[in-house]
Amino acid sequence: MAAVRKARKLPSDGAKNGWYETLPAPPPAQHVAGTISTDWAVIGAGICGLTVARQLGELRPADSVALVDAERVGYGTSGRNAGFLLKGHSHGGEKDMALGRRNDRLCAAGVEHIRDIVMRHQVQCDWSDWGRIYVASGAPGETHLEHLAHGLEGIGTAYSLVDRDGMEAVTGTRFYSRGIRADGTALVQPAALMRGLGASLPENVALYEDSPVAEIHSGGGFRLVCPDGEISARQVVLANHVFAEELGVARGRVVPVSLFASLTRPLKEEELAQVGGGGEFGLLPASPNGSTVRLTRDRRILMRNTLIYGRAKQFDGGQLEGAVVNHREGIRRRWPDLADIELDGTWGGTLGFTRNGGVVFGEMAPGLHAVMTTDAAPLTRGAIAGKLLADQLCGIDSPLLQDMLALPKAALLPPDPFLRFIVNHRIRKAETGESGEL
Ligand SMILES: Cc1cc2nc3c(=O)[nH]c(=O)nc-3n(C[C@H](O)[C@H](O)[C@H](O)COP(=O)(O)OP(=O)(O)OC[C@H]3O[C@@H](n4cnc5c(N)ncnc54)[C@H](O)[C@@H]3O)c2cc1C
């Protein structure tokens, strides 16, 4: 039966993605114009879309795949995050350790899948196996750190404790009272990684950028309507993350939360001593009100804090100004002499959480499939989920696919305004009770 899904909202990320801005300008985009016919259309070229399209292209060399995004590859959320490719990761709240271990097998495979592509195609993305330190600066953070250690033990991740002196040796600041160091996580320049993944797709995968899909018509195949043209496809994969609900998929199952980050200009030689001497590092906060902090390979500080309920999926000037204030405050508390350093970009991005560590994965309607990465470690779980969805579509089974299929489906959530109220309440509670962790 013929049906039409009209996008209620399209991506409009606005504020400049600092990672993207530090890269050279990309070559002009190919966009959807006229009528394009393809076997498979993948909507969304973030980590999920890039991996599902690549794997479909590799497994079905005689088929054509169109990968289409509303923006440039690397500009959206997958290119505007903190660049932690996590495995052996805990957020400290796991109740079901069997689920945690299953998730972790997927994340570990995700890191290796991305590593393999990066190495094979020599993707220049500042890949580093530095790992991560989970950090706390006071009593609330230390309590979270204890839960987190329990979570790491539950999934079998080895770790070591770092005291204040040890944290100072790495970061140059005595702000952190304690840390937990765990290896296994890679750090990347996320926009460069995404651009590299987009530039190294198999020949039978055509990438179309700056091409928002405003409508999907179904009935004997699919017709995707973009501003200047259309794609007709036999099968469609939705990999457009929190925008899936705008096309009527996974509605009411994913909590959209927006996070903000800033990237400073590269530190000068004489400033490096303040941040531990200049060796890169990656710090993940134990507290939900804490800051993710990196010193990047090119010697910039990345400061990521500030959460808001993200149903709007875009940011106004006031929200970005608020984030700048918090990012500066985060820098000032750690490195007072760098408080006024120039920021080369401040931006927001929206990601999805579920209430049960669940997934959106598989066929949603005849011929219409979806893959979305949510919750903890979304880049690595998304990379492997994309690959595994393509495997499933091509009839390839594996223990990892079985792990993926054994994860619970994302559970239904209360509707707005209740959900908005609950999320805002939790954010405010963390902001007031754990303000020292910012
Ligand atoms: C500040 C910040 C820090 C983060 N840090 C980390 C981290 O360190 N590690 C980690 O694992 N995760 C992190 N995340 C989360 C992670 O980036 C995301 O969960 C993940 O990138 C989502 O990938 P995706 O492929 O599902 O979606 P996306 O990257 O959002 O890709 C979806 C794509 O779909 C496109 N799209 C949407 N609708 C349409 C349409 N109608 N037509 C065409 N295209 C469309 C969008 O333009 C977008 O490019 C962070 C997120 C933020 C915001």
Nearest CA to ligand 1 atom 14: 81
Q: How far is the CA of 281 from the centre of ligand 1 (A)?
A: 23
Assess whether the C-beta atom of 302 lies below 6 angstroms from ligand 1. no
241: CA distance to ligand 1 center in Å?
6
**Which residue has the least CA distance to atom 13 on ligand 1?**
81
Q: Would you say the CB of residue 162 lies under 6 angstroms from ligand 1?
A: no
Q: State pLDDT tens for residues 362-382.
A: 999 999 999 999 988 899 999
Instruction: For residue 381, report the distance from its CA to the centre of ligand 1, in Å.
Output: 12
The answer, yes or no, to whether any atom of ligand 1 lies below 6 A from the CB of 78, is yes
Whether ligand 1 lies within 6 angstroms of the CB of 259 is answered as yes
Assess whether the C-beta atom of 359 lies below 6 angstroms from ligand 1.
no
198 C-beta closer than 6 A to ligand 1 = no
163 Cα–ligand 1 center, Å: 34
pLDDT at 312: 94
CA 380 – ligand 1 centroid, Å: 12
Percentage with pLDDT > 90 across the chain:
93
Confidence class of residue 68 from pLDDT cuts 50, 70 and 90?
very high
Q: Give the pLDDT confidence score for residue 362 in this predicted structure.
A: 97
- Ligand 1 contact via 240 beta carbon (within 6 Å): yes
CB of 230 closer than 6 angstroms to any ligand 1 atom: no
pLDDT digits (tens, 9 = 90+) for 424-438: 999 999 999 999 999
Residue 328 CB–ligand 1 contact under 6 Å? no
Report the residue among 6, 91, 351, 387 best suited for mutation to probe ligand 1: largest number of ligand atoms under 8 A from its CB: 351
Three-class secondary structure assignment of the chain: CCEEEECCCCCCCCCCCHHHHCCCCCCCCCCCCEEEEEEEEEECCCHHHHHHHHHHHHHCCCCCEEEECCCCCCCCHHHCCCCEECCCCCCCCCCCHHHHHHHHHHHHHHHHHHHHHHHHCCCCCCCECCCEEEEECCHHHHHHHHHHHHHHHHHCCCCEEEEHHHHHHHHCCCCCCEEEEECCCEECCHHHHHHHHHHCCCCCEEEECCCCCCEEEECCCEEEEECCEEEEEEEEEECCHHHHHHHCCCCCCCEEEEEEEEEECCCCHHHHHHHCCCCCEEEEECCCCCCEEEECCCCCEEEEEEEEECCCCCCCHHHHHHHHHHHHHHHHHHCHHHCCCCEEEEEEEEEEECCCCCEEEEEEECCEEEEECCCCCHHHHHHHHHHHHHHHHCCCCCHHHHHHHHCCECCCCCCCCHHHHHHHHHHHHHHHHCHHHC
Cβ of residue 382 lying under 6 Å from some atom of ligand 1:
yes
Mind listing the pLDDT tens digit for each residue in 135-169?
999 999 999 999 999 999 999 999 999 999 999 99
User: What would the pLDDT profile of 322-332 be if each residue is shown by its tens digit?
Assistant: 999 999 999 99
Report strand pairing: 34-43 vs 229-238.
parallel
377-425 pLDDT per residue, tens = 899 999 999 999 999 999 999 999 999 999 999 999 999 999 999 999 9
